[in-house]
Structure 1
């Protein structure tokens, strides 16, 4: 039986203070802008936070937008300047981190990233170090929205996948349910009151959230059907005619994991460093080779690669979609390109 706790709404700041004693806590914070945005930031005592769905997922907890992989220093031998020694420091930069109040689609995003970074031919030590120190407290969604389609791809408003603690809003507060040994241990030491009596309210709230969703289409044949459209350039040109190649769909995605590597400095006068930064497969430069040749100059071919990876190639390799249906690529697209429509057109095409 998992640990169940309850916290009053007024008690959330104290709970966050408990979480931040031994870890960095990333909580959703509302930012003033013409278009309201909610981003994850490190929480400190007294800092306002929100329980609204974040505009940007908390992917940086395990895959920072820019990170130093290693630093290097070159030293010439004063007796023989032709001899150069190279010192490297590739120690992963990882600290205990708690992600507070992300959504189920975001928590499933960590599982999606785990497969290529931890279960592939090579384990990424930088990702692994952060992932092992990550605790995820997920807030279930109270209802569906027009751009969400998590239930199309195996998730849902109360999906537990990827979460250590599942939180559900009920009248007067939040019910917290431990899902993993790490989550149970966190709740046991929290000092929060027992929430078993309120758990039926949480279950009712979760059921009500599912009831707000429209019926999901059957995407069982999507991997094969999307793959079959790969060479149909006319199909992709038609589907992506409005695309601006701005890359918003990739930068707001909780499961995109392409990156670029850049070296800064030669390491002689001061240490140089090797950086890993998010890359954007919708950029015209993404596939440009050292020779100057670029196999994907057309935006239709780049979007073909992006959609095919999420709904055909990744499922072929890992048995699951690499899209979690969060809908951010739709809500943040300046021309409202809808990945759902592309996939359904591929599935229904003759």
Structure 2
């Protein structure tokens, strides 16, 4: 695979060059938040701070039209109405630059759900196939980071097409996939073979800065054993206010809602992100809600990520350890502490 060096003063020109081919999304500081926005030569991307939001909207938009529909009267038989449907498939070559490895790895969680032998979500697939990720090595992991708990790391390349390592005078770009290698065919980049060892040292130091990861391989069975333990879930959810910040910022949350918005004889079917911490998430038409309290809802969120999902998908956790749900939680609920507490809790067999 290729290794190229990008000088600091060539970052903006290089991104401008890529923007001629790709819808290029980069982190940008807006107020206190760092969010992904289309690249603009007038404003350099923010690559020092971790993005506040995940990059999932690049492939899984917060709101998207799945189809439009229109009712038309049959001119030959006015008693009949014809329904015309136009399916919407969105696909534009897209490049996401500056996310961390945990962002890119998050899409592996989506893939196991939306791209299967039985059912494939075509809108997701179209975007996924045309989206490339240039991830930045997390050289100074935050105290809320725990990617190494779930098989990742500050320099993890799973899901990335190019890995970007910050050096004192620029960045080393190393291709991970063949598609990623095509992104490095620019005259603005120089040969980076001589900087590989330097970058390797930075990655090694980043790994050393991570706290030692506990063994959470038994989390699936321990969480399942606590399913009916109301006291446990009421205790760990006591501070939660069901705001949903954790779900909206999470790179692996993939739940959605479908609504039809109708205007006269025309309308559109929309898919929007849903929030499992909302009290309406499981509200049934009858008025019954099987998850009426925040304890029920937090049990589902934690259980899904660390028990139900791995039991279905070969032990893979539905979490990339980015720590956003911890860092941005307004009441400091820590999902790591919940998982560790569940593992330490005695099961019925042990009592």
Q: TM-score, normalised by structure 2?
A: 0.96
SS of equivalent residue, structure 2 residue 184:
helix
2:291 is aligned with 1:296? yes
Are 2:218 and 1:221 equivalent residues in the alignment? yes
Q: Is the 8 A contact 2:23 2:93 kept in 1?
A: yes
Tell me the distance in 2 between the aligned counterparts of 1:77 and 1:19: 49
**How far does residue 79 in structure 1 lie from its aligned partner after superposition?**
3.2
Equivalent residue number for residue 231 of structure 2 = 234
Tell me the distance in 1 between the aligned counterparts of 2:187 and 2:289.
Answer: 54
Aligned to 2:17: 18
Give the whole-Å Cα distance in 1 for the aligned partners of 2:30 and 2:209: 28
Q: Could you list the per-position Cα deviations for residues 309-341 of structure 1 after superposition, in whole angstroms to 9, with x for gaps in the alignment?
A: 000011011120011111100111110000000
Match of 1:283 in 2: 278
CA distance in 1, matches of 2:308, 2:202: 36
Is 1:110 paired with 2:144? no
Describe the SS at the equivalent of 2:102: helix
Match runs of 1:6-155 below 5 Å: 6-32=5-31, 36-51=32-47, 52-119=49-116, 121-155=118-152
Q: Comparing 81-90 with 246-255, which one deviates more in the overlay?
A: 81-90
Report matched runs for 1:145-184 at 5 Å.
Answer: 145-184=142-181
Partner of 1:348: 344
**Are the equivalent residues in 2 in contact too, given 1:7–1:174 (CA < 8 A)?**
yes
Partner of 1:205: 202
Larger deviation, residues 242-251 vs 115-124: 115-124
Look up the SS of the partner of 1:18 in the other structure: helix
**Alignment partners' CA distance in 2, 1:27 and 1:198:** 24
The total of aligned residue pairs comes to 344
Q: After TM superposition, what 4+ stretches of structure 1 lie above 4 angstroms from structure 2?
A: none
Q: Is the 8 A contact 2:90 2:123 kept in 1?
A: yes
Distance in 2 between the 1:141 and 1:308 partners?
28
**Offset of 1:45 from its aligned partner?**
2.4
Residue 183 of structure 2 aligns to a residue whose secondary structure is helix
How far apart are the structure 1 equivalents of 2:40 and 2:20?
A: 10
- Structure 1 unmatched ranges of 5 or more: none
The match for 2:332 is 336
Kept in 2: contact 1:57–1:106 (CA 8 A): yes
Contact 1:57 1:252 in 2 (8 A): yes
The 10-residue stretch of structure 1 (59-68 or 115-124) with the greater mean CA deviation from structure 2: 115-124
| TM-score, structure 1 as length reference | 0.96
Tell me the CA shift for residue 233 of structure 1: 1.1
Kindly provide the CA deviation profile for residues 113-146 of structure 1, in whole angstroms up to 9, marking residues without a partner as x: 1110112631000000100100000001012211
Task: Specify the alignment match of 2:302 in structure 1.
Answer: 307
Q: Identify which range, 184-193 or 325-334, moves more after superposition.
A: 184-193
RMSD: 1.1
